[in-house]
Amino acid sequence: MNAALESYFSRESTLTPPLKNWEEDLPKSVETQHTAPRLTYINEINNVWMEVPYYEDIFWGGGWLATIAITLAFPFCCLFIFMPGFLYESFFNNFLFLIFYLFSLFFIFTLAFMNIKLMLTVPRPLPIRFNRARQKVYVYQHTRSWNPWVRWPTTIKVFDWADIHGELSYQSGRYNQGYQLWCAVCQPGTRQVIDRFMLSDSIGHPKVQRGLWSHCCHYMAHRPVPTRPLYKTQPRTWKLRETVRWPSDIDHESRTAPQDEVAETSGARDETR
């Protein structure tokens, strides 16, 4: 028993730098997977590419309640400005209160604007595409900030599948608890990590995350995989409009095989003739 405990707690990540709250290194993509392949969610899967949605554990439905409540509260807070003599009396008799009041209005307006921006512009889910014909992974990322007055950029990262290693971490928090599946991108032929992205957020049992990693490895190796996901119904997005917009060139590349581009180019040349 003591030997088993010592072996468990003496484990270390083989990648540098190690993942925060690291729990387990998963088998390499070219190695035998010890867990049967199984999707959790899926947007699209075919012979060329598949798209796996990444859902971040955020109380999205509650965000709309907060947005509506704060937005409705702001006009009532502004009513004092229109009271007869309010600004005059505050300016000459209680200037500090006037400054505090105006600052509070700006803070409430900023909070309302941040919630509106969060609910209308932040994509959910974030798609991750695996193109096995090109052996590439396309990661759609969106960076948000506590400051709504700055730009929240969207970036598309493209990685070689051969450079990606699977890792598990364990998150133990009040609102987020469970195993997370990470993909570590290393320099070719090394274990030096240059980037990381999360493939699946917290799930209670690690077998589910191992199954998803196994599915990605089997799919990219052109092996048979199940197409029916574990969860048939996806979480609601709570979005009024589509917020995921791939750049046209990346969208085309991530959904096609190299031979498709050759065929299109040949067709264009024939038309020119």
Task: Give the confidence band of 254 by pLDDT, cuts at 50, 70, 90.
Answer: very high
Confidence of residue 265 (pLDDT cuts 50, 70, 90): very low
Q: What's the DSSP call for residue 35? A: S
Lowest mean pLDDT among 38-42, 144-148, 150-154: 144-148
132 in Cβ contact with 49 (< 8 Å): yes
Helices 95-121 and 86-93 sit at what angle, rounded to 10 degrees?
120
Pair 138, 156: CB distance under 8 Å: yes
Q: What is the pLDDT of residue 273?
A: 33
pTM here? 0.83
Q: How far is CA 265 from CA 102, 129, 133, 200, 252, in A?
A: 61, 24, 18, 37, 14
Tell me the C-alpha to C-alpha distance, in Å, between residue 17 and each of 26, 56, 78: 16, 24, 51
- The predicted pLDDT at position 86 comes to 62
Percent of the chain surpassing pLDDT 90: 51
- Please tell me whether the peptide bond between 125 and the residue prior to it is cis, using omega within 30 degrees of 0: yes
According to DSSP, the residues that pair with 16 across neighbouring strands are 192
pLDDT at 212 over 60: yes
The candidate with the shortest Cα–Cα distance to 183, out of 25, 23, 21, is 25
Measured in degrees and rounded to the nearest 5, phi and psi for residue 112 equal: -65, -45
Sheet holding 136-142, edge to edge: 44-45, 49-54, 126-131, 136-142, 154-160
Instruction: Report whether pLDDT(5) > 50.
Output: no
More reliable by pLDDT, 122 or 93 = 122
Please, are residues 74 and 108 in contact by the beta-carbon 8 Å criterion? yes
Does residue 266 have a pLDDT over 50? no
